Structure 1
């Protein structure tokens, strides 16, 4: 058996804005502080030749641009003051490097996003490049030496791991290899650094806090809540595309800041978004958040519903089409429900995108997950397997686009063939068959209907209970052999998992209820011949047929029913009866002739 894996992608994304704060000692994976670390801040404006020079990086998570704060000053912060790291979670195993650079003549080095190697600076060959990664408390200290020989401008860059990816470890859970969508922007640091609020002093051990917005995009595609599903074809069922809402879809900015590498939605260009005091407060939205599901063309789409939850799915609230989200069906905007296409074979690509108001709503309501419910069915004779997955795409301000794909739950139906012949192998038409779920049902005339339920067929042709006629007419499933002696049943439900707790519903969280391998997906049905061809005996005994995902395609029939001819019983009437009939006819004939002769004699 196989377990369907739920795709989970936890991505850290940087807003590209470096904020430098003084360092504080953190316990692993938390925001618990030790005492404020002492720093070597000298009142002598002249660089000494004895102090150690160092750069300490503190790497941690934030959840929206509103948490970025202003640019730091390289000094330590007192715990509990604003801004500080209260409630933040550190990031372990983030890789960094530092190199020392020499500015070209007449160049002022301030921003390595703008100023480039060779054009504006060269690498100092007298300094050996240093690399390292953050510890369990999110810190990484680069000791660059002591004395004036260590003075200069250093370039700090986030670098990839041994696999060429930007990754980190969550020390609170132990999860490793988590993805950083976009590394922090590189930055220059002077050692020693002039104190920002007292330019007569120097800082020999600078502390910086580059940070990343961390989003946990947990994609979970289900069908009727599980990873597999089967029901009589033609009945309604639904697929659920459930996604953890990423942080940073909306932020209310109340302080000046600059968002680098921002995609301007007005003209599609990449630029810096400078939010100054005249723009505050400023509503900062993600460029887009889209859920796209290219539904299998065999599915018939009846409608979709978009919902959110803030309590891990205990309750779901509907969002409003147009106001909170927009829908495109096959790249055409749809502005009202139902969102439907009931033609098998047609493309059914559904894209749901949050509006700016929708992003603000889900953020302000503290919603944690969004789901799109696709209400579907298939044609009544559908056989086979349908798999379905969905994609999410979003772009947070200043980030690279995020794209993720869910796993693929599956829907199953099967069918089988019956061959009806006489003992000589000649095809027989006109035989009518019903099917039952068990041998006991077959013997009790309890047969399967088009709604997937079982009904008792009474001797007078009625059923118990009566077959529903609204809103959809329900009929007992029957098949009649044609001139070639062929009959078949299609679109039958199959068993695809072990119902270990007996509640009739697959629960992916229970390992024993994992979806079976395809070769194990099957179900037994019992065939009853309820009407035989003229001149032949009924089958009389129910026959079991095992239906799988492939039986409907098999060349040979799954069941061959050979009928015995009816026997020739003796005539029920005797010769005395025949004689009486002859005498009666003779008497009538004689009487009629006598009347005619008498009539002629009277006329003469």
Structure 2
């Protein structure tokens, strides 16, 4: 059974800038914030020997670098009203450690990304390393001691969990083990810390807030909005690759900053930090955002459509090829519609890349999802199963290259073979067959056509209703080996529990069946027999599966009875008398004509 699957990947990444300020508690799993804590801020410029020293970390999610806000000052803020915090989600179970360090020589310890251990600083061995993880309100407090013995510089850094991975928990949903793409950059903290806006005061309990950008990318591949689909081969159908847009495709930067954790967009290897110095506002775009679908070679691609939505799919808006996105087919640029390849068996790797104009549009319009619709068909005689998935990859400044793969919805067609013989097993050619969807249809001469619909075949050869232009009845005529076959037939692949004829993956009972259960019944009618033989007269039921078309033995064997020899319509003696009479009349008529001619002479 294949239930609808949503492959969700989350990546949290620090941009290397710490917003250090006070944080406050909020109710676990709630968006209701408590009052900010009261800090121990002394007006005495000389550190005392009685106050407790501590560092409190508050961990929040943000969506892009533009939400980093200003640098913190070590003081607490009310997240219910602070512009940098209002509405932000906290991150639970993020692991941290602190160690006490001291400068080597005259080194200035301001940034662990610039000053390295062994050259600029060393560990103070008398302090025991402390570890912990953030609570449901996103907070973690390290109490480092009381009095002047606890004074000094501390290094705070994020560490892995017990499985050796950087992860966190969403306290609202309870989802655990969410992967953090890049851990927070380490930072130094002075205890006590000089108050930034009044350098005559000291802060004994410093509050810091390292923000992390979190991308929440959701991939969902469907075929005709379901996880399975079948239709008469040769008819059009579509695949949909729907992806939640990650945060950070465009960030508007308003002040100088350094973006760490940069990667080369070509090699994927770590690269130098990005220094943003203006002019401001500065538009920082993702290096790339790509959706790649290596379509099954049996599919015939007619075109693609790229759309976005900001209301969970109630309304979709088309993006413009060449303006908002660009396309490559098998590595070659396609600059206009149709994006097509109608050759069966040919490679069809389609890559859609958002351009900066497109990234700006989806950001400004607050679009949440993007989807690529692949308009396809297959050849009329296609049998079997087609599965298809797609990949996304993107690179946002300060993050590692990200990629993920969707699940694989399926498309099905089946066929079957007929063997036509006489009673002695001799092959018979020239027998014509139609097929129907039900036994009642077969009896009523309501036969299946190439468009997947059924039409009644009238005695005069017309149909009711009239066959659409280009549509023909599905027929097959036995060849010299007595073989006939039907291919590319629709199969049943799910339980239509609500009777609307459409698979709805959100309904558990409508999940795609196991492959061995996918099938459909058809009824075979012999509509023309070989010369000298009787019609079959009775519709034959056949169950078509994904494998019947390739079975060695035929699914239906039709044995014809020879025509019987009926009696002549008259007796032999009477016929002879008629022949003699006609001969006599002929001879008599000729004799009279000759005699008349002689007399005239």
Q: What residue in structure 1 maps to residue 293 of structure 2?
A: 293
How far has the Cα of 1:243 moved from its partner? Answer: 0.8
Give the root-mean-square deviation of aligned CA atoms.
2.1
Q: Secondary structure at the match of 1:338?
A: coil
- Partner Cα distance (1:122, 1:578) in 2: 132
Report Cα offsets for 1:522-543 as digits up to 9, x if no partner.
0000000000011111000000
Q: Which deviates the most, 592-601 or 4-13?
A: 592-601
Aligned residue pair count: 599
Q: How does 1:442-521 map to 2 (within 5 A)?
A: 442-469=442-469, 473-521=470-518
In the alignment, structure 1 residue 584 sits paired with structure 2 residue 585:
no
Q: Secondary structure at the match of 1:175?
A: coil
- Partner Cα distance (2:329, 2:508) in 1: 36
- Partner Cα distance (2:467, 2:266) in 1: 59
Q: What residue in structure 2 maps to residue 163 of structure 1?
A: 163
Report Cα offsets for 1:46-80 as digits up to 9, x if no partner.
33322211111000111121110122111112456
- Partner Cα distance (2:300, 2:190) in 1: 64
Q: Secondary structure at the match of 2:376?
A: strand
Q: What residue in structure 2 maps to residue 273 of structure 1?
A: 274
Q: What residue in structure 2 maps to residue 374 of structure 1?
A: 374
Report Cα offsets for 1:271-316 as digits up to 9, x if no partner.
333333x411111211111111111010000000001111111111
Q: Secondary structure at the match of 1:360?
A: helix
Change (3 A) 1:264 1:489: closer
Q: Secondary structure at the match of 2:579?
A: helix
In the alignment, structure 1 residue 213 sits paired with structure 2 residue 210:
no
Is residue 263–residue 287 contact of structure 1 (8 Å, CA) maintained in 2? Answer: no
Is residue 62–residue 68 contact of structure 2 (8 Å, CA) maintained in 1? Answer: yes
Is residue 413–residue 492 contact of structure 1 (8 Å, CA) maintained in 2? Answer: yes
Is residue 218–residue 243 contact of structure 1 (8 Å, CA) maintained in 2? Answer: yes
- Partner Cα distance (1:87, 1:80) in 2: 7
Q: How does 1:115-514 map to 2 (within 5 A)?
A: 115-263=115-263, 270-276=271-277, 278-469=278-469, 473-514=470-511
- Partner Cα distance (2:123, 2:584) in 1: 135
Is residue 456–residue 463 contact of structure 1 (8 Å, CA) maintained in 2? Answer: yes
Q: Secondary structure at the match of 1:270?
A: coil
- Partner Cα distance (2:576, 2:176) in 1: 101
- Partner Cα distance (1:123, 1:540) in 2: 95
Q: Secondary structure at the match of 2:456?
A: strand
Is residue 300–residue 378 contact of structure 1 (8 Å, CA) maintained in 2? Answer: yes
Structure 2 gaps of 5+ residues are: none
How far has the Cα of 1:596 moved from its partner? Answer: 7.0
How far has the Cα of 1:188 moved from its partner? Answer: 1.4
Is residue 16–residue 399 contact of structure 1 (8 Å, CA) maintained in 2? Answer: no
What TM-score does the superposition give when structure 1 sets the normalisation length?
Answer: 0.95
- Partner Cα distance (2:8, 2:243) in 1: 10
Is residue 70–residue 257 contact of structure 1 (8 Å, CA) maintained in 2? Answer: no
Q: Which deviates the most, 208-217 or 301-310?
A: 208-217
- Partner Cα distance (1:43, 1:31) in 2: 34
Report Cα offsets for 1:21-50 as digits up to 9, x if no partner.
112222224553322211122233333322
- Partner Cα distance (1:192, 1:257) in 2: 26
Q: How does 1:83-94 map to 2 (within 5 A)?
A: 83-94=83-94
Is residue 78–residue 84 contact of structure 1 (8 Å, CA) maintained in 2? Answer: no
Report Cα offsets for 1:491-517 as digits up to 9, x if no partner.
000000000000000001000100000
Change (3 A) 1:530 1:137: same
Q: Which deviates the most, 170-179 or 543-552?
A: 170-179
Q: Which deviates the most, 540-549 or 95-104?
A: 95-104
